[in-house]
Amino acid sequence: MVETVYKPEQILEWLSDVADPEIPVLSIRDLGIVRDVECNGGVTVSLTPTYSGCPATEAIEASVIAALEERGVATINIRRVLAPAWTTDWISEEGRRKLRVYGIAPPERRNRPITCPRCDSSNTEVVSEFGSTACKASYRCADCLEPFEYFKCL
Amino acid sequence: MTGKSVLTAYATRLGDNALILGQRMIELVAGSPELEEELANANFALDYIGQARMFYTYAGECEGEGRSEDDFAFLRPEHEYQNLLLVEQPNGHFGDAIVRQVLFESWYLALLEVLTRCSDEGISDIAARAVKEVRYHLRHSSQWLVRLGDGTDESHARVQQSLNDLWKFTGEMFMPDDLDDAMRSAHNGPHLEVLETQWRADVAAIVAEATLELPGDQWMVSGGKQGRHTEHFGFLLAEMQYMQRTFPGATW
């Protein structure tokens, strides 16, 4: 039996449906953790972990395999790539937009104000640098008074 | 020591520090004084366990005998662990735990920064990942040290005592052994004397901001890197390894 040869673009499109388990509005492509796709016979997907201890790493790898198997890909290899280390700069524009709609302020470069995802005010204050997951901090908007989460720069 | 055995041993040692500190921090889960601290501690512990996993996996690859990360963590006896004595010290009260974090993380951060530039790609890749995490761990633990030191008379006195008590475990961080020397000469690893100068300056700055006094020169306890541990270590390992020792090969 001859294995189908897939195009990397096709694989990438399918991977757009794989959600991040902790922030399900984001796909793993929005998050920027899909580093490479190679198709020669089988399909090799290179993924980079966000944090060393990210409990989602194994879950994400399992979802990638499941998503590709569902489309009939027979041979799937997952490669874990550590370097260069993941940074929040790799979150796509689309990913940033989705975060904001979801109620999480996307990461901002140093000295740029963190704006409230609900009312867009930049009059916000940090409540705790450490939120419900390693990647988020807790903030409060001083104008609309709503609490919100901020995706920290890393 | 040959090339691969240096890397195996060095990666294992780095894994040991990360795992044992992570395990100590896990003991604090559900015991923090407030919710934010609870989340921060649990997340940091996870970072350390994650780093240990990467170092052990790499050690297993260098060794080439099929040992997995779990084999390193769960199937080695006390004397094969080469972590610093500092990281195995019991959590004590909150101030004790914070001082331990500050002393270790200032050293670990400086060490990782050098390792990101070492000539072995396996180690430098993991270090590049870990250094970002340890940088904010240290920011967090330093903030707490300042809050406690520059807080009430009670918190000041207690955290000064923690600093005095734990200081004797900092000496071995800067005592190079054969493995440190081999890592340095073969892979451009850290020069511990240079690291000590940087560490002293960093710690002195944090301690001064916390209005605390640096303990003076004193007798230093060592032995962690040679596998001679303090009496607390066996209990930690017994709890951590219980499941694999009782039900060998158990998975879930």
Q: Is the pLDDT of residue B10 over 90?
A: yes
Q: Does the residue B116 lie in any domain? A: yes
- Residues of B near A (Cβ–Cβ under 8 Å) read 36-37, 39-40, 43, 45-51, 53-54, 121, 124-126, 128-130, 132-133, 136, 140
Contact A130 B47 (CB under 8 A): no
Which residue type, as a one-letter code, is found at position B111? L
Residues B198-215, mean pLDDT to the nearest whole number: 98
pLDDT at A128: 83
- Domain that includes residue B218, residue range: 3-246
For residues B27-41, average pLDDT: 88
Question: pLDDT-derived band of residue A136, with 50, 70 and 90 as boundaries?
Answer: confident
**What pLDDT score does A23 carry?**
86
- Tell me: pLDDT of A2 over 70: no
Tell me if B201 is assigned to some domain: yes
**Cα–Cα distance between B212 and B233 in angstroms, integer?**
29
**Is residue B252 situated within a structural domain?**
no
Backbone angles phi, psi at A78, to 5 degrees: -110, 130
Binding-face residues of A in 58-97 toward B, CB within 8 A: 82-85
Residue A54 has pLDDT above 80, yes or no: no
Predicted TM-score (pTM) of this structure: 0.89
Q: Is residue B88 in some structural domain?
A: yes
Residue B80's pLDDT band, with cuts at 50, 70 and 90, is: very high
As for how many domains chain B has, the answer is 1
- Interatomic CA distance for residues A24 and A102, integer angstroms: 10
Q: Is the dihedral of CA B85, B91, B94, B96 positive or negative?
A: negative
Which carries the bigger pLDDT value, residue B8 or residue B217?
B8
Is there a contact between B187 and B119 (Cβ–Cβ < 8 Å)? yes
B41 has pLDDT over 90:
yes
Q: Residue B103: what pLDDT?
A: 98
Q: What is the pLDDT of residue A16?
A: 93
- Inter-chain touch A85–B128, beta carbons under 8 Å: yes
pLDDT tens digits, one per residue of B163-193 = 999 999 999 999 999 999 999 999 999 999 9
Please give the mean pLDDT across all residues of chain A.
90
Domain A8-86 has CATH 3.40.50.1360: no
What are the domain boundaries of chain A?
8-86, 92-151
CATH code of the domain covering residue B84: 1.20.1260.10
Per residue in B82-135, pLDDT (tens digit) is 999 999 999 999 999 999 999 999 999 999 999 999 999 999 999 999 999 999
Residues of B in contact with A33 (CB under 8 A): none
Confidence band for A147, pLDDT divided at 50, 70 and 90? very high
